[in-house]
Amino acid sequence: MKIGFIGLGNMGGGMSANVLKGGYDLTVHDLRREAATPLLESGADWADTPGEIAAACDIVFTSLPTPREIEAVALGEDGIFDNIKPGAVYLDLSTGSPNLIRQIHAKFAEKGAHVLDAPVSGGTIGARTGKLAIMVGGDKDVFERCRPILESFGDRVSYKGDIGSGTICKLMHNTVVYGLQTIVAECLTLGVKAGVDAKAVFDAIADGSVGRGTMFSYTFPETYLQGNFDPAHFMLKLAHKDVGLAMELGREFGVPMAAGNLAHQEMTAALNRGWQDRDSRVAMLLQEERAGNIEVRIDKE
């Protein structure tokens, strides 16, 4: 089986190196040939264009910066589509657009070729060490066919659903990351301005339920994802009180707390529903209503 890899930047360079270490026959391409030097020295072959890779390989990976580059490499002149063989598989590891990957999937199907979206999470260190989460969308049988190769550079490979599902999951993940980053910045700056050492504030966050990952490993699965808010693990009225006191502190020290105030407003709206004695996660139901009465639930088993 011949594997092609296009895009050898910070992420692609590490992932392709692990594919090569996995013993696969690898051909690579990048806009900068020098990016391929370590791979070529380790036994990979070089291709001058994406089309040349597609013509020669059974499975083609791309790791590219934006949807513009994905579209150009997949559908552009002398790109993957023009040269891919029937039965071959194209996997995009980039964080792109769900709509674009669905268009690419439909186009490739005309030639009897398969497409999976498989964005990754774990950063450059994960790319080098093979410690990546890989979120895959597309035909499940094709995914299973490609799983061994994906596991050569990812330790958490999971199937997410139809084409585009992997990309949607990755976009949701990254938005949570940067939403948390915003409120962490607010709380660290307020804590320091209020007179506490930066390390002490940071350690308090890291050592508590946030840093321990309790929300995702226990609290959400036992409450919100089950629609189970009674009895309360931590009552809404107490959570509202705590965040309200933090917002008072922000006003006292002149620290803007936009994300914190939004969280407090959500809890206030939930209190106005009479939910004060229910688990504080009950406030998340308000967003379900705004989204069109979407229910986010997971089977307890």
Q: Could you say which of 170, 193, 199, 300 is catalytic?
A: 170
Q: Which helix (H) or strand (E) holds 133?
A: strand 133-137
Amino acid identity, residue 243? V
- Determine the length of the chain: 301
Residue 195 is given by DSSP the state T
Four-point Cα dihedral 146, 130, 2, 141, nearest 10: 0
Rounded Cα gap, residues 104 and 249, in angstroms: 51
Amino acid identity, residue 237? K
Question: Is the previous residue joined to 148 through a cis bond, with omega within 30 degrees of 0?
Answer: no
Is 170 a catalytic site residue? yes
Dihedral of CA 88/92/98/104: which sign?
negative
3-state DSSP helix/strand/coil % of the chain, to nearest 5: 55, 15, 30
Task: Pull the structure tokens for residue 57.
Answer: 């390989």
Residue with tokens 């804590």: 191
Q: Are 237 and 254 in contact (CB under 8 A)?
A: no
Q: Are 115 and 138 in contact (CB under 8 A)?
A: yes
> Which residues are marked as active site?
170
